Structure 1
Amino acid sequence: MLEGLLAGFVPSAIALVATNTPEAHAGYALGIMATSGATGGIVGPLIGGVVSHLWGNREAFFFSSGLVLVAALIATFFVREVHVTLKQRSKVRDDLRVAMLNPRFMIVLGISMMVTVSVMLLEPLLTVYVLQLGAAQQDASLSSGIIFSAIGVATVLAAPHWGKIGSKIGYTKVLVFGLVGGGIGSVLQYFFTNLYGFGILRFLYGLFFAAVYPAINALIVKVIEPDFRGRAFGLNQSAVQFANMIGPILGGFLGGIVPIRVIFIMNGAALLLTALYVKYKGLDETAVHKSTR
């Protein structure tokens, strides 16, 4: 529970970048933030595995604590906040009420939860599926870890570029591209029964899906007033954490009643339906909802 309180670092960091970066460069900067998170997701388990192997599992907690301390020191002594708006502290209930009065923000929040559930859906199933594809039992964890991290590697390579593209053509379009590419890529995974082909397809799927989170972050900036952005990113992070809990539970439940390959079809269909909703529902990026003033 105490570790969970550290989740506040992420929305604060994103809000800090969003509110202190010139609007013309906000998309690229948020793309870099997404890339940083993906890089940590790739490198973290690898470093943790090495530390645990060399010194033990308990010692890995000390190592992790040291990294958190370094991050805190960097944020304290090196980060400079240019646009500071100090207001009376709000209540969570009031923030939720304001958020619900902004339909565009609620749409973005729902999409954020949807795509996070989509990613986490396969976490409890991937190792089992890798075994079904023919991986040796002693290598299943390593193989599934590499395949799962393929999306993270793709995000590192593609997310900053999607941020730049979004600043030119609009983040709603980029979000649709990412959802459509992710949906098609997920459906195609049903047909790949070769371990290496499956891993390559996961990487290609990640190149498109890498557009989603930078676009969501940028859209939050677009549809929310500056003085509410920090709280908006906090609410978004809470939604993501809730989806992180729902995704594996739902994936495990579905994996017990249908073949894992079928879940790729269901996952892809959900992403494509979300893309259609965004496409035809539309998100006005130019106007900010007045209720957040």
Structure 2
Amino acid sequence: MPLWKRNLFVCWFGCFATTAGMSLIVPFLPLYIQLLGVHDTAAVERWSGLAFGSTFLMSAIVSPIWGRIADQRGRKLMLLRASLGMAIICSLMGFAHNVYELTALRLLMGSVSGYIAAAITLVATQTPRDHAGWALGTLSTGTVGGNLIGPLVGGYLAEVIGLRNVFFATGLMMFVAFLITLFLVKEAFKPSKKASVPWREVWRMVPNPRVVVTMMASTFVLQLAMMSIQPIVTVYVSQLTGPSRHIALIAGCVVAAAGIANVLAAPWLGKLSDHVGPQRVLVVCLVIAGLVFIPQAFVTSPWQLMGLRFLLGLASAGLLPSINAIVKRSAPEALSGRVFGYNQSAQYLGNIGGSILGGQMAAAFGIHYVFFSTAALMLLNALWVFTSTRDRHNKHRAVPHPSV
């Protein structure tokens, strides 16, 4: 097996393990906060939001910093740092005495995270150009799969072994990711002088900064659009079903439908992008995703919503992997860690902004308008990507882009 492919599979497991570990605590975080002495419902909700969102906010801040160090010291080192750091901190959460310690540890978790960004950078720089789309698409399924499995396993483990023990189990899972990364990932890293340039000089060294900035903005818009739906899914399902004891289960199936479709389609769309170009796949998937959002506002049953969410998952499977493939082609290899770090920050900020925007818009205008606004964001983003990458795509077809 080629080295790049073995590293891909190891990084896939690492992304799956760390993402599943991060999402394991989602179902019972409010219950754990109550266990720590917070009993007022409003206070539990407030602290749950702070503890959950603080990790992503801190990750958005530090991602470019870790990206720069990855360019200077190597990507494997960042994989080891992130997996071991998260294993230790997550285990410490099981010993928290109060909500302040828990929130502080969640902040610290965000500051040492970065496994996924480092994995994307390692895979993108090691994979041959004609296999980059497939490799990045396959890698993304680890993250999506972890997000799917994590909450299900977390809720089950909380009932079987107790809330605190889930943190220890999560830490163990992340430590396993550390061990397989330590012994199986191979990287012959040679630092470049370019890796030490100040951040203001980075954009001068990027052959086409307009394309890279467009991809980062697209990442933010994509996550903003996708996450804006998450806070309202359960409420929307309850409106469609009426009184039912199975609302949580049905809502979980609706959310999972998109993730399952994403896992199934991402490698295939990645391989397609290797043949026709990631720009084309990205634009087409943006248009399809935007159009699929519209009928979701008019469904009359949760099963219709589930079917449309499955179609959305098929389309969204080609989005972030295509963006990463375009960034790989557009950024010098010596600066890829920093550039992917900026892109990861945009993704985290989109997650935070989308969660806030969706709930506020639904409260102010109604749930249906969230779907309309999300569709508009996706279609406008498709137009922007098309106009920004068209000249670049045509140039690439005429003259192959030299590797840096």
**Structure 2 length normalisation: TM-score?**
0.68
CA distance in structure 2 between the partners assigned to 1:83 and 1:221 by the alignment: 17
Q: Which residue of 2 aligns with 1:260?
A: 367
CA distance in structure 2 between the partners assigned to 1:271 and 1:162 by the alignment: 18
Match for residue 156 of structure 2 among 50, 60, 81:
50
Q: How does 1:1-40 map to 2 (within 5 A)?
A: 1-40=107-146
For the residue of structure 2 that corresponds to 1:121, the secondary structure is helix
**Deviations 1:148-194 (CA, angstroms, capped at 9, x unpaired):** 12111011100001111101111110001110110011011112121
CA distance in structure 1 between the partners assigned to 2:136 and 2:366 by the alignment: 37
Contact map agreement 1:190 1:265 (CA 8 A) in 2? yes
Does 2:265 match 1:158?
yes
Q: How does 1:103-114 map to 2 (within 5 A)?
A: 103-114=210-221
**Deviations 1:193-212 (CA, angstroms, capped at 9, x unpaired):** 21111111100111011110
Q: Which residue of 1 aligns with 2:21?
A: none
Q: Which residue of 1 aligns with 2:344?
A: 237
Higher helix share: 2
Contact map agreement 1:99 1:105 (CA 8 A) in 2? no
Q: Which residue of 1 aligns with 2:229?
A: 122
Q: How does 1:184-203 map to 2 (within 5 A)?
A: 184-203=291-310
Q: How does 1:202-213 map to 2 (within 5 A)?
A: 202-213=309-320
Contact map agreement 2:211 2:388 (CA 8 A) in 1? no
Q: CA deviation at 1:280?
A: 2.7
Structure 2 unmatched runs, 5+: 1-106
**Deviations 1:235-273 (CA, angstroms, capped at 9, x unpaired):** 111111111111111111101111102211111111111
Match for residue 388 of structure 2 among 281, 284, 287:
281
Q: CA deviation at 1:7?
A: 3.2
What root-mean-square deviation, in Å, do the aligned CA atoms of Structure 1 and Structure 2 show?
A: 2.3
CA distance in structure 2 between the partners assigned to 1:81 and 1:176 by the alignment: 33
Q: CA deviation at 1:42?
A: 0.9
Structure 1 unmatched runs, 5+: none
Q: CA deviation at 1:85?
A: 2.9
Does 2:166 match 1:60?
yes
Q: Which amino acid aligns with 1:234?
A: G
Q: Which residue of 2 aligns with 1:148?
A: 255
For the residue of structure 2 that corresponds to 1:3, the secondary structure is helix
Q: Which amino acid aligns with 2:127?
A: T
Contact map agreement 1:172 1:215 (CA 8 A) in 2? yes
Q: CA deviation at 1:131?
A: 0.5
Contact map agreement 2:203 2:209 (CA 8 A) in 1? no
Contact map agreement 2:194 2:335 (CA 8 A) in 1? no
CA distance in structure 1 between the partners assigned to 2:243 and 2:336 by the alignment: 48
- Closer, same or farther in 2 for the Cα pair 1:96/1:156, shift >3 Å? same
CA distance in structure 2 between the partners assigned to 1:158 and 1:59 by the alignment: 35
Contact map agreement 2:262 2:313 (CA 8 A) in 1? yes
For the residue of structure 2 that corresponds to 1:81, the secondary structure is coil
Contact map agreement 2:286 2:381 (CA 8 A) in 1? yes
Contact map agreement 2:210 2:388 (CA 8 A) in 1? no
Match for residue 250 of structure 1 among 345, 357, 380:
357
Q: Decide which structure has the larger Cα Rg and report it.
A: 2
Q: CA deviation at 1:98?
A: 5.2
Q: CA deviation at 1:92?
A: 7.3
CA distance in structure 1 between the partners assigned to 2:380 and 2:214 by the alignment: 14
Q: CA deviation at 1:139?
A: 2.3
- Closer, same or farther in 2 for the Cα pair 1:140/1:25, shift >3 Å? same
Match for residue 284 of structure 2 among 156, 161, 177:
177
- Closer, same or farther in 2 for the Cα pair 1:194/1:79, shift >3 Å? same
Contact map agreement 1:27 1:163 (CA 8 A) in 2? yes
- Closer, same or farther in 2 for the Cα pair 1:256/1:225, shift >3 Å? same
- Closer, same or farther in 2 for the Cα pair 1:15/1:232, shift >3 Å? same
% of aligned pairs identical? 35
Q: Which residue of 2 aligns with 1:81?
A: 187
CA distance in structure 2 between the partners assigned to 1:187 and 1:248 by the alignment: 19
Contact map agreement 1:115 1:271 (CA 8 A) in 2? yes
CA distance in structure 1 between the partners assigned to 2:330 and 2:194 by the alignment: 22
Match for residue 176 of structure 2 among 43, 60, 70:
70
**Structure 1 length normalisation: TM-score?**
0.92
Q: CA deviation at 1:288?
A: 10
Q: CA deviation at 1:141?
A: 2.3
- Runs of 4 or more, structure 1, over 6 Å off, are 287-290
